[in-house]
Amino acid sequence: MYDGPGPLTWGSLVTAWEPRAFVIAGLVVSAGLYLWAAMRLRRRGDRWSYARDVAFVVGGLGTIAWAVLGWLGVYDDTLFWAHMAQHMVLSMVSPVFLALGAPITLALRTLPRRQRRGLTTALHSRPAKILINPIVGAALVFGSPFVLYMTGLYQVSLEHDWLHDLMHVHFLLAGCIFFWPIIGVDPVPGRLPYPMRLILVVVSLPAHAFLGISIMMQKTLIAGSYYEALGRPWGVSLHEDQVTGGGILWAAGDLVGLLVFGALLWQWSQADDREAARVDRHLDRAARLARQPNAADRDEAAWAVYNRQLAALAERDTGPTP
C-alpha cells in the first residue's frame, strides 16, 4: 500500500519540506562561519564583495537546502523527474555558486598563520593536485550518471537511505571538483588556461544530452521494480515520469553548460583587461624612470625595463614571436 507523500501541487512546492537536523546544522554552521569571516575581513578595512556573500550563502547553500530539504528532497524517491532535478541542482548549480563565493580565498585571508599554512600545504599536496582537477571533475560529473542510471545502482540507492544520502554528497563534491578550477576564483590546483577551460566545457556538454536522450528513449523502466512496488496512485505514469526526467537531464545540462561558457568568456575578458592595465602601469612607471635626468639607473637599466614591458605588451596583442 502506498505510504509516500501526497500529490505534488503548486501548494506543496512551497509547503513540502523534509526536516533533517544534520543537514540543517551543517548548512547553518557553514553560512555562519563564512559570514563571520567576511565581517571580520571588512572590519579590519579589507574589501570583500557582498556579491560573494550572496553567491555562497544564498546561491550555494540556499540551493543545497532547497534540493535536499525542500520539495525536491520530499519527492526525490517518489518521482524520477524530481530526483533528476535534484541531481542537476546539486551537481551543476550549487557548486557554481559555491565556487563564486571564494571560500578558500576568504579562509586564507582570515585564518591564523598556522592554519593558513596548513591549508596552503594541503592545496599544494599531491592528492589535491590529482583530485582537484577539472578533468577528474568532468569524469565524475558527466560519467557518474551513466554508472548510476545504466546499472542497478540507482535502485539500490532508493532502497537504502544511507546510500541515497551518500549519492547526494557525491553529486555535490563532483560538481565542486569540476567547477572550482573552471569558474571559481580561489587559488586551487588544476587551474587551466581560459582556452582550455572553454574547450573542456564544450567537450563535456554533450554527455548529459546523450544520456538524457537515451533515458527518454529507453523502454525499460529505470528502477522499475521499486517504482512499481511503490504504487504511486497520483501523477503521471511511470514511463512519462522517466521521459520527463531524461528531458530535465538533457535541457538542464545544456542550459547550465551554456551559462558557464558565457561566464568563462566574461571572466577571460576581465582578466585580459586587468593584465592590460597592469602592463600599462609598468610601462608608465618605466617611462617616467627613464626620463629622470639624475636617476642613477636612468639610461641602460631604465630603458631595458621599458623595452621589456613593450615586448610584453606586443606579445599580449599579437602573440609570441616565433
Residues 45 and 117 grouped into a single domain: yes
Amino acid at position 234, single letter: W
> Is 280 in contact with 320 (CB distance < 8 Å)?
no
Average pLDDT over residues 126-154: 88
CB 122 within 8 A of CB 164: no
Planar angle of CA 13, 78, 146, nearest 5 degrees: 110
* Cα 308 to Cα 286: distance, rounded to the nearest angstrom: 10
Quote the pLDDT of residue 293: 53
37 assigned to some structural domain: yes
Scan for cell 555562519, then name that residue. 32
For the segment 157-162, the average pLDDT, to the nearest whole number, is 93
- Over residues 303-315, the mean pLDDT reads 55
Least confident of 51-65, 184-198, 285-299: 285-299
How does pLDDT run across 77-106, given as a tens digit for each residue? Answer: 999 999 999 999 999 999 999 999 999 999
- 32 or 257, which is more confident? 32
Regarding predicted confidence, which is higher, 302 or 192? 192
In a domain, 7, yes or no: no
Q: Which amino acid is at 302?
A: A
Lowest mean pLDDT among 124-138, 249-263, 280-294: 280-294
Domain final residue, candidates 276, 293, 308: 276
Residue 281 above 70 pLDDT? Answer: no
Same-domain pairing of 169 and 106: yes
> What DSSP string runs through 87-107?
HHIIIIIHHHHHHHT-HHHHH
Mean pLDDT, the chain, integer:
84
> How many structural domains compose the chain?
2
In a domain, 260, yes or no: yes
CB 242 within 8 A of CB 222: yes
Given this model, what pLDDT does residue 201 score? 82
Q: Report if residue 134 sits inside a domain.
A: yes
Q: Is 231 or 318 the better-scoring residue by pLDDT?
A: 231
pLDDT band for position 154 (50/70/90)?
Answer: very high
Last residue of a domain, one of 243, 258, 276: 276
Q: Do 202 and 304 reside in the same domain of the chain? A: no
Overall average pLDDT of the 225-233 stretch: 93
User: How far apart are alpha carbons 191 and 184 in whole angstroms?
Assistant: 9
Q: 109 vs 300, which has greater pLDDT?
A: 109
Evaluate whether residue 240 is within a structural domain: yes
Taking every pair of Cα atoms in the chain, the longest distance, rounded to a whole number of angstroms, is 94
Per the structure, the complete domain to which residue 289 belongs is given by 283-318
pLDDT tens-digit map of 36-46 = 999 999 999 88
